[in-house]
């Protein structure tokens, strides 16, 4: 397997700035080659799937930095991204007498990263934390930018905080153990960067999708690096999603409705985003922003990544109505009006509302019969 040397991407947020370290074997280098947050103790938060694979490696790497290292193992999956599971982290921190000099390490995918970051933001009103993402989706998207949250039965990621990590560690070796379905889910977040910001990346994905699906290390390194560069630029310009950062949610308004409507964990986040991008592209076409050839091009690429291009039926009696009901709870909704991230010509995103009747037509067209 090709070894990728470590490179760094900088998130420029003034006093809250931090590096992303990307390469092969980066976890093993933490105690020697990377500057870790100062603290008297570390608490590694992981899940039952990832912990047996990588906790011992992380403990060995940071053991010279912290006098005490504890591990909290949570149940795996989006279905557990809730108050009950979050409290397991707080229970462990309080039981162990952790103070403000405790550093949290999020070792896992997006669910672990979001919950650990939210716990770090809340515990004693804020303790430092480090993201160690082990899924492609987390490496290219959720570990970067400081969004932390848990789900509510009525809406995804509706309870959370903006809270930046002090370091993000993207070890490409962890992608070797990723299930194929999880790899594909991560590719959805990679694909989104093309239509919203970089059609050169989109064309590269069209030429190299087979290599990504085959987990060729050089191809994976390229998309993780480029995705992080794009997200770093957007987050640096709009940390708290006052405007520009919302473009990163291309496909997510429809996708979050799918996740909530199906029950968290039935569809993976990336699967919902994939079908959501197709819906958003069709809506963009109906509003005259892109042509049909672009919609077909995007749909083909999503299919090649092994992702769904049609949404599920959430309500047999009024499917579009159920989607609209769930999307009105979306964080980008304003005064009950749903605002969509649409493609205003390939490589450029725009936030716009759309008439319910038009959105209904798109949902009817793009959902499984």
7-11 and 155-162: which strand pairing? unpaired
Strand order in the sheet with 68-74: 7-11, 18-23, 167-171, 129-133, 102-108, 41-47, 68-74
- The CA distance from 16 to 327, in Å, is 32
Nearest to 114 by CA among 140, 151, 71, 84: 151
Residue reference for tokens 């980008």: 332
Which residue, chain included where needed, has tokens 């002090």? 166
Which residues does the annotation mark as catalytic? 125, 147, 189, 231, 241, 245, 249, 252, 256, 269
Task: Note the Cα 172 to chain centre separation in Å.
Answer: 16
Given a contact cutoff of 8 angstroms between Cβ atoms, the answer to whether 221 and 172 are in contact is yes
How far is residue 141's CA from residue 185's CA, in Å, rounded to a whole number?
12
What are the start-end ranges of the H helices in the chain?
30-33, 51-62, 83-95, 110-122, 136-137, 180-197, 199-213, 217-237, 252-262, 269-286, 292-304, 319-327, 356-366
Farthest-apart Cα atoms in the chain, separation: 61
Report CA 121 to chain centroid distance, whole Å.
18
Measure the CA–CA gap between 185 and 260, rounded to whole angstroms.
17
The three-class DSSP label of residue 64 is coil
């Amino acid at each position: 397997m090709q070894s990728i040397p470590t490179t760094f991407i900088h998130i420029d947020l003034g006093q809250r700035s931090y590096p992303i370290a990307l390469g092969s074997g980066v976890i093993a280098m933490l105690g020697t080659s990377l500057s870790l947050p100062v603290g008297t103790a570390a608490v590694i938060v992981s899940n039952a799937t990832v912990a047996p694979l990588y906790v011992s490696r992380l403990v060995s790497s940071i053991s010279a930095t912290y006098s005490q290292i504890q591990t909290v193992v949570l149940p795996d999956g989006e279905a557990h991204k809730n108050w009950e599971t979050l409290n397991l982290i707080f229970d462990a921190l309080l039981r162990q007498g952790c103070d403000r000099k405790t550093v949290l390490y999020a070792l896992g995918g997006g669910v672990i990263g979001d919950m650990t970051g939210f716990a770090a933001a809340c515990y004693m009103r804020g303790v430092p934390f480090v993201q160690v993402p082990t899924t492609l989706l987390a490496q290219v998207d959720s570990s970067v930018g400081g969004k932390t949250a848990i789900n509510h039965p009525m809406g995804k990621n509706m309870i959370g905080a903006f809270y930046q990590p002090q370091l993000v560690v993207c070890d490409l070796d962890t992608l070797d153990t990723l299930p194929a379905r999880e790899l594909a889910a991560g590719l959805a977040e990679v694909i989104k960067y093309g239509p919203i910001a970089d059609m050169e990346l989109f064309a590269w994905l069209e030429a190299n999708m087979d290599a990504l699906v085959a987990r060729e290390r050089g191809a994976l390194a390229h998309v993780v690096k480029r995705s992080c560069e794009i997200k770093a630029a957007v987050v640096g310009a709009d940390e708290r999603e006052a405007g520009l950062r919302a473009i990163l949610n291309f496909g997510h308004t429809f996708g979050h409705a799918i996740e909530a409507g199906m029950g968290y964990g039935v569809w993976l986040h990336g699967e919902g985003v994939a079908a959501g991008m197709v819906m958003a592209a069709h809506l963009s076409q109906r509003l005259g922003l892109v042509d049909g050839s672009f919609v077909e091009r995007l749909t083909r690429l999503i299919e090649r990544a092994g992702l769904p291009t049609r949404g599920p039926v959430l309500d047999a009696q009024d499917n579009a109505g159920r989607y609209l009901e769930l999307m009105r709870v979306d964080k980008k909704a304003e005064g009950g009006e749903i605002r969509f991230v649409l493609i205003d010509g390939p490589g450029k995103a725009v936030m716009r509302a759309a008439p319910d009747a038009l959105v209904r037509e798109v949902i009817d067209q793009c959902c499984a019969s």
